[in-house]
Amino acid sequence: MNPPEQALSAPTVPASDRPRAAADVTPVSPVAPATTPVPDPTWYERIRDRWYKLVATDEFQRWSARFPLTAPITRYRSRKVFDLVSGFVYTQTLYACVELDLFDYLAEGARTVEEIAEHGDMAIANAERLLNAAVSLRLLMKRRHGRYGLGPLGAPLVRNVGVTALIRHHKMAYHDLADPVSLLRQGSDFRTELSRYWSYADAPRPQAIDDTRVAAYSEIMAATLPPVAHDVLDAYDLSKHDCLLDVGGGEGMFLSLVGARHHHLQLQLFDLPAVASRARTRLEQAGLGDRVQCVGGNFHADSLPTGADVCSLVRVLLDHDDLSVLRLLQRVRAALPKGGVLLIAEALAGAKGAETVGDAYFSFYLLAMGKGRARRASELHQMLQTAGFRKSRELPTRFPIQTGLIVAEV
């Protein structure tokens, strides 16, 4: 039961429209994966394997670099391999630019090496080293008279609080991924900086986490959420709904943006008690105090508030294992009335044009965090069906690299 000071009662729902009680949530047991025989390779796979065996030889690589028709392809692939080797240096170049506040500094106009060196408290030679690296990455551009200005990839970072907060945050990820083999071989007692930072990831009683421990990660979640929120609100029309419940809603950033667009909507938020308390303060400051209810609890164990006809899970599911996700989806299904809608918004594995986001970035980040995984849309559709949703579909968003959106109906 939630403490009175951390939970506000939800509006009542007529018995005929009331969703199933939390007790009706179907228990889920983990199922051992079935062993399936491995089929023989197809003729195409055999040809492809022979081709790559040939490509791997030193003789072929030297020949392909000389032959006019294959030389451009060989050079391109060599550069891509070198980019993989040098990726950490690239990220550190970006990190240095953010830490030195270069993008905001150069937003006022191009500067000389001497001016930038003084701004960053660096030797001129080291400033020039950083600037040339940033130019090669298109973060900056060389201008006339030896000056440097914003480049095409640096300009979007000017006063971009969310992205720069994320770049600074990744210092912990770089530390945890310094020895990826040890990370992959980790045991249950393996601790990382990210697992300590995301304090709910391995907490035995998440609802007991205090404000001090949730403050840091709540702030970065709030700072990085607006682009995802705008993607969701541009792709799905909430004007046809009456009340939105945001589960795992953090400090209320998503609800504050929803409330600014849809003035008729009643708003509910459910998160850990310490987080819900911070959300209540933020939403009251945003002038939404008379439209919002903030409820504290643990969505792994507690029933969700009723009364909403649409529910959102924004960047929530990828933090949790399959069994926990399925049980959460069942709780959402129990809280929604007939005809209710669930919005799932998060980066999806296998998203066309953004394959590296789910299968490389989030895969290793969440491994370091100690919990969860990115999922393909097809996996979530299957889990929604198992949880009792009638149908689900994927909606296109402007930036699939950061926002996949699935709409499920009760």
Reported as a single tens digit per residue, the pLDDT across 57-110 is 999 999 999 999 999 999 999 999 999 999 999 999 999 999 999 999 999 999
**327 closest CA partner among 304, 297, 359:** 304
pLDDT tens string 393-403: 999 999 988 89
pLDDT of res. 371: 84
The burial class, CB within 10 Å (0-12 / 13-18 / 19+), for 135 is middle
Largest CA distance in the chain: 77
pLDDT of res. 180: 92
* Separation of CA 210 from chain center: 24
- Which residues sit opposite 245 in a β-bridge? 268, 311
Q: Is the pLDDT of residue 5 over 80?
A: no
pLDDT of res. 199: 64
CA distance 325 to 316: 9
pLDDT tens string 274-286: 899 999 999 999 9
CA distance 251 to 269: 9
pLDDT tens string 133-189: 999 999 999 999 999 999 999 999 999 988 999 999 999 999 999 999 988 988 656
pLDDT tens string 318-338: 989 999 999 999 999 999 999
**Position 15 confidence tier, pLDDT thresholds 50, 70, 90:** very low
pLDDT of res. 353: 84
Q: Is the pLDDT of residue 13 over 70?
A: no
pLDDT of res. 54: 92
pLDDT of res. 219: 77
**Position 11 confidence tier, pLDDT thresholds 50, 70, 90:** very low
The burial class, CB within 10 Å (0-12 / 13-18 / 19+), for 83 is exposed
pLDDT of res. 212: 61
pLDDT of res. 78: 93
CA distance 261 to 244: 13
**Position 128 confidence tier, pLDDT thresholds 50, 70, 90:** very high
pLDDT of res. 6: 36
Q: Is the pLDDT of residue 23 over 90?
A: no
Sorted by sequence, the CB contacts under 8 Å of residue 150 that are 6+ apart come out as 103, 106, 107, 140, 141, 158
Residue that the structure tokens 């979530």 belong to: 380
CA distance 59 to 56: 9
pLDDT of res. 360: 92
CA distance 3 to 316: 24
Q: Which helix (H) or strand (E) holds 405?
A: strand 404-409
pLDDT of res. 25: 55
pLDDT tens string 194-236: 888 876 655 555 555 555 666 667 777 888 899 999 999 999 9
**Position 409 confidence tier, pLDDT thresholds 50, 70, 90:** very high
Chain-wide mean pLDDT for the chain?
Answer: 88
pLDDT of res. 186: 82
**380 closest CA partner among 329, 314, 310:** 329
**Mean pLDDT of the 347-361 span:** 90
> Residue 392: helix, strand or coil by DSSP?
strand
Q: Among 15-29, 97-111, 361-375, whose mean pLDDT is lowest?
A: 15-29
Contact between residue 313 and residue 335 where contact means Cβ atoms under 8 Å apart: no
Sorted by sequence, the CB contacts under 8 Å of residue 269 that are 6+ apart come out as 245, 246, 249, 252, 255, 276, 279, 283, 292, 293, 294, 295
